[in-house]
Amino acid sequence: METHIYMIRHCESPKLGGSEERRGLTRKGKMDASKLTTLLRNEDIEVFISSPYTRALLSIEELATESGKEILLCENFKECIFSKGDKVVPNEQVYPLVKKMFSNHEYAILGGETYDQCLDRAIFGLERVRRNFEGKRIAISTHGFVMTIMIRNFIKHIGFDFLMETTKPDVFLLKFDGMTVTEFTRIWREV
């Protein structure tokens, strides 16, 4: 029984300090959330799951509402914890850290998660979702790093460069037969 999982990287969000968990969407991010709805409305998505972070939730809220579905929150799909506390880490600091994490899966700065810790958490959640909703079409709204390492768990040739080429938002369709990916396609496009 084939399960379709739409991995959605959240829409653009301001990185102006404050709380990492409560960052919303920029004006462009809000417009792109509507474009996500247009792109995915005919995919017959049956289950909507999101990281508990506001930007991920807001990215699929319109689509879920239009579909008459609730959004289930899943801590397993929150972004990797890059530093101690809930502070926003600027891109000029986070991307060199992420690059190092791709080459050393046990590396983390004080108070942060390693690549392997984040992957274990995310894959545990993904396996649970796939088991509980086998044969369904599922949207998972998440974040760049955690999305990339989940996909990389099945598609080994992707890595840091793949992450850097993704956009906000971005959408990848993974078709599963059990826990084996039978198809992997980028479906995000401007609409």
To the question of domain 2-186 being in CATH 3.40.50.300, the answer is no
Residue 51 confidence (pLDDT): 98
Residue 39 confidence (pLDDT): 97
Provide the residue ranges of all domains of the chain, joining segments of one domain with +: 2-186
Q: Give the residue, 91 or 167, on which the prediction is more confident.
A: 167
pLDDT exceeds cutoff 90 at 93: no
Sign of CA dihedral 91, 93, 94, 99: positive
Return phi, psi of residue 140, to 5°: -120, 115
User: What's the whole-number mean pLDDT along residues 21-26?
Assistant: 93
User: What's the whole-number mean pLDDT along residues 169-184?
Assistant: 96
Q: Which residue has the tokens 């992707």?
A: 158
62-71, 75-84, 86-95, 142-151: which has the minimum mean pLDDT? 86-95
Q: Which amino acid is at 38?
A: T
Supply 20's token pair: 């990492």
Identify the three-state secondary structure at position 57.
helix
pLDDT exceeds cutoff 80 at 87: no
